[in-house]
Structure 1
Amino acid sequence: VLDVGTGSGILAIWSAQAGARKVYAVEATNVAEHARELVRANGVADIVEVIQGTMEDIVLPEKVDVIISEWMGYYLLRESMFDSVICARDRWLNPGGVMYPSHARMWLAPIRSGLGDKKMEDFEIAMNDWNHFVEDTQAYYGVNMNALTKAYRAEHEKFYLKSSIWNNLHPNQLIGQPAVVKEMDCLTATVEEIREVRAQVTLPINQDRTRLAALAGWFDVHFRVCLAELFHRSLMFYSMEDTHYFPLTG
């Protein structure tokens, strides 16, 4: 088993406890020292080997049958480390090997929310503060700062009105059907495929007398594996649809 970005080492420890012969736990940061400590404390140091380094640079003594990683970022791909997982897969996964999670989907849906109004209010407060600053600087110090107002406004429009935010939302805030924006098979996905995500989706609103406040995005990941040789069935595990909302307010 190869654990990419092991962090505290919890997934590597679980892999050892589940019966893995050998686990390579790779961590780029100094958290690797804490992972080694936890591995020793849980009695699996003979199975789990913590390696500090990047997937692009480290060398393993053998290929692996399973790659595990909690690589997901905001809205799946923002600040994610899936590039490193792809590198690990291409370098070290045996033919016929599996990856967990194995698949991932990005969703988008129309929502009702007060977030848009709050962001507009914050923007207006910021502009009012700036205007007072300009007036005071002129009155008390004889310096006209108004030449910077256009640039200041553009910067704050981008921050408050043209950027996404993270927030927990309740499913009853959805006012229409969600749509899948992107679906990935982790065994075949490429860096080029995830560098930019574009999709055409239809998001019908199915509630009357409501106002579209924003588009909310979330993701789910699946753990699919064919166990036909062992149990004559396939297993699929889903995360809940409402676990990771990433509203794109507008």
Structure 2
Amino acid sequence: MGSTANGAAAERRTAASNGRSPVDKEVDFANYFSTYAFLHHQKEMLSDRVRMDAYYNSVFHNKHHFIGKTVLDVGTGSGILAIWCAQAGAKKVYAVEATKMAVHARELVKSNHLQDVIEVIEGSIEDITLPEKVDVIISEWMGYFLLRESMFDSVICARDRWLKPNGIMYPSHARMWLAPIRSGLADHKMSDYEGSMDDWHGFLKETEAYYGVNMSVLTKPFSKEQKKYYLETSVWNSLHPNQVVGTPAILKEIDCLKVTVEEILKVEANISSLVTKEDTRLCGFGGWFDVHFKGSEENPAESDVELTTAPSQDDGTHWGQQVFLLHPHARVNEGEEIFVNFSMTRAEDNHRLMKVDLGYSIKQSSGKMLPRVDNKFFIE
């Protein structure tokens, strides 16, 4: 079923080259992979019509990429992508799943009479061994704000180990976006933080009055803890397009055939956005992503399908948007320009989570540049 030694060695080399400690696989499984072993979690993703339609259309509108081909599905989950690939004409599909969801995938494949085409393999892509190289790698690897969860690392590993030189990736390209927004969430979060601190001060008084212990020395660390929770942790939200108050800008573009793990460890960008609303509040920034199924230059898709998680007034996605709220907010007006310095890296204690440094400054209509404001956020 695979070479655990080779996979572990590769992981240690990657971690060492990036100055990180090797990931504890048991801890990683408990914190991350185990979630995907539950059918209710799979149902949430399978109920996302935007997600499902994009993958379905990308496969069945580009059958020439699958007919008679060998396919690897990384993180197959329920197995539905593998089933579509087989239905589109693939001669062999290797469906790799790290959790016990592989048992359900195997049953689903059998009930759809595709067990002669699809082989479900339980194990991590870093550890398993395939009997051959593949023509296509398909995977739904995207996390919140694209890179949270770091599953793309495994897809890159699969590509480097098992994709033929002229093979293609589904999806083939990805982009990360950021735009200024207005939202009442900023006021709610500040109110929650202030309420938490009021409760803390009441707790201090009662503890000293009843038990004779003054615990005020812990106020500063408690405040720091609560600020991180309420004010510095990015918020999952489903934004309406009317909440976007400026032009969106691309933070990063990714070619899935070429990108390396080292190139996604850190996302840095200096962007600008032109305010499009009259006299409004700048309450934060919203981040989202899109992916495309374009094939390759040598073997392009007949139908270029896009999956976007941008703010929508109709059907959103289960990814929604990542919202970075500002405290305090600022006021902006149409025609003003917002300059943003953005940096996102992986958290030291959990490589699947992210930390963000976001600085912004506003160039007013008069030409005056307001002082830069720096913020730190966590994507957890």
**TM-score band, normalised by the shorter chain?**
over 0.9
Partner amino acid, structure 1, of 2:79: G
Shift of 1:237: 1.2
Q: What secondary structure sits across from 1:79 in the alignment?
A: coil
Larger relative CO (CA 8 A, sep 6+): 1 or 2?
Answer: 1
Are 2:285 and 1:218 equivalent residues in the alignment?
no
SS of the residue corresponding to residue 139 of structure 1 reads helix
What count of residue pairs does the alignment treat as equivalent? 248
The answer to whether structure 1 residue 168 and structure 2 residue 238 are counterparts is yes
Task: Tell me whether 1:238 sits opposite 2:306 in the alignment.
Answer: yes
**Which consecutive unaligned segments of at least 5 residues does structure 1 have?**
none
Give TM-score scaled by structure 1 length: 0.96
Name the counterpart of 1:150: 220
Matches within 5 A, 1:168-207: 168-207=238-277
Verify the 8 A CA contact 2:287 2:321 in the aligned structure 1.
Answer: yes
Superposition map of 1:69-84 within 5 A? 69-84=139-154
The SS at the match of 2:195 is helix
Q: CA deviation at 1:198?
A: 0.5
Rate the CA distance shift 1:6–1:182 in 2: closer, same or farther, 3 A.
same
CA contact under 8 A between 2:86 and 2:92: conserved in structure 1?
A: yes
- Tell me which amino acid in the other structure corresponds to 2:287: G
Q: Which stretches in structure 2 are left out of the alignment for 5+ residues?
A: 1-70, 327-380
1:129-144 superposed matches below 5 A: 129-144=199-214
Where does residue 324 of structure 2 map in the other structure? 248
For the residues of structure 1 that align with 2:266 and 2:181, how far apart are their CA atoms? 24
Please report the RMSD computed on the Cα atoms of aligned residues, expressed in angstroms. 1.5
Partner of 1:90: 160
How far apart, CA to CA, are the structure 2 residues paired with 1:21 and 1:169?
42
Deviation at 1:92, TM superposition (A): 0.2
- Aligned-pair CA distance for 1:235: 2.9
Provide the C-alpha distance between the structure 2 equivalents of 1:226 and 1:26, rounded to a whole number of angstroms: 23
Deviation above 4 Å: which 4+ runs of structure 1?
226-229
- The answer to whether the Cα contact below 8 Å between 1:227 and 1:235 also exists between their aligned partners in 2 is no
Which has the larger strand fraction? 2
Partner of 2:103: 33
* Alpha-carbon contact 2:170-2:295 (below 8 Å) kept: no
Using the aligned pairs only, state the percent identity.
61
Specify the SS of the correspondent of 1:97.
strand
Worse-superposed segment, 235-244 or 136-145: 235-244
